[in-house]
Amino acid sequence: MSDTKRKPTIFQAMFPILVMLVILGIGIGFLSLPAEPLIVLAAVISGIQARILGYSYDEIMKEIATKIAKVWGALLILVIVGFMIGSWMLGGTIPMLIYFGLKLISPKYLALTAFLLTAIVSVLTGTSWGSAGTIGVAFMGVAIGMDVNLALVAGAVVSGAYFGDKLSPLSDTTNLSSAVCGVDLYEHVYNQLWTTGSSAVLASIFYFIMGQISAKNNIVVPETINILTGTLDNMFKWNVILLIPLAIVLIGSITKKPTIPVMLLASLVALINAAVFQGADLKNIVDVTLNGFNVGMVGMSEESVAPELIRLLHRGGMMSMMNTLLIAVCAISFAGTMTVTGSLGVVISKMLEKVNSTFKLVASTIVTCLIITGVTSNGQVSILMPGEAFREAYLKMGLHPKVLSRTLEDSVTCTECLIPWTAAGAYMASTLGVATLHYLPYAILNYSGMIFALVWAFTGIGITKLKK
């Protein structure tokens, strides 16, 4: 480093972060502006400060390019995920699992069933919003017909929806968390079982007990369930072979095969199923990989299909991942402008001066993530910023980066929907018909993950150390 380059003071190091939080807080929270241009604006301001501190434009761009290169493999996985979801929809894999899942609904154990079935669907689809907006809506209809605690069922749906959002290889937040921390996707997923698995067990026990308390006689399953299953039955031809793509992904996950080849193979088999069993033509097969599935591909009109089913099925395709890809690149660019000056190191060093244990480090990560999520209302930003900032601290303390990636998901992915003014909180409240703060106490999985994260950090259980 030349003499003209200066190390930022703590105020100078904090300035870009504060600017970004203010810009995103006002822009997203009050003006409902998209996050991407706001992050770029913050990156520009941070870049100007880097120039003032003596760093050249080429040095700034080189740092940004280096960071993007490090996570490009994971970002490519996001595009492949869109490809795979579309192919699984057209091939009938996901619709088949949803269909037979709905057939297993047991109103007597409504809360527990809502949690487990929504969790299964969210794992298979990788979307919390889609799961809550389809299966969740159906369960809320059952709850209304049974005259049970709607907040309880809504909390169970939200818990199940975010179980998959954390553990599904198809989830954007799961891919982003592993990418920003430099952790293998499946290794990140397995490691989350320490917190998410513990939370799921706790939630299952809670919903079982509460379900027995809330159970009523004379339960009638609403017509909504019959409409959904009947429509799916008319749209697709069921065959056990449709489950082969799922088996490929599961086997690939268990045997730790390279992610992208496994996903491409599963997608190819699903597209073959689409042609052989669903009668899809070449145009639809090509179109679904880019733009995703729509009911017109199986000879149905949108007017003849329930809106809930359309919200679930109309997804996938590589283009569906472009927004996530774009916001990731923008956030990484901002991080690059800060990293070139050493600002992140200055801030983290100051923050971690009194952090001398795993427990304090994990607790600091959780608090930071909650603050950023509350201010920015953006889960992706709240994963990318702390992930970049805290990674070095975890390494210096001898902790595997997957401890950080797990903590990011515990404190961001699941908590965003518990904050009323975030998009996730507003979506869940409006979709399920229960206010955010009303279902919050019953969304056991969404906040207990942070509690288990702190417990394991304090005891050392489930905390992976780096080998010398």
In the prediction, which pLDDT does 147 show? 65
Residue 23 lies in a domain: no
Residue 59 lies in a domain: no
Residue 232 lies in a domain: yes
In the prediction, which pLDDT does 82 show? 81
Residue-wise pLDDT for 125-165, tens only, equals 777 876 787 678 778 766 765 667 889 999 999 999 999 88
End-to-end CA distance of the chain: 30
In the prediction, which pLDDT does 128 show? 82
Using the structure block, give the residue that is written with the tokens 């702390």: 386
Q: What is the DSSP string of 388-409?
A: HHHHHHHHHTTB-HHHHHHHHI
In the prediction, which pLDDT does 408 show? 93
In the prediction, which pLDDT does 359 show? 93
**Mean pLDDT for each consecutive 10-residue tract of the chain (468 residues)?**
73 85 81 83 90 90 84 77 86 84 72 90 78 76 71 94 87 85 88 92 93 63 72 90 87 76 92 94 92 87 78 79 78 81 76 83 89 71 81 88 93 87 77 87 94 94 84
pTM of the predicted protein model: 0.69
Residue 142's Cβ-count burial label (10 Å; 0-12, 13-18, 19+) is: buried
In the prediction, which pLDDT does 217 show? 52
DSSP-based three-state secondary structure for 262: helix
Query: Is 324:295 a contact under the CB 8 Å cutoff?
Result: no
Owning domain of residue 402: 70-327+345-468
Q: How many domains does the chain have?
A: 1
DSSP-based three-state secondary structure for 138: helix
In the prediction, which pLDDT does 81 show? 80
In the prediction, which pLDDT does 214 show? 67
Residue 25 lies in a domain: no
Residue 181 lies in a domain: yes
Residue 303's Cβ-count burial label (10 Å; 0-12, 13-18, 19+) is: exposed
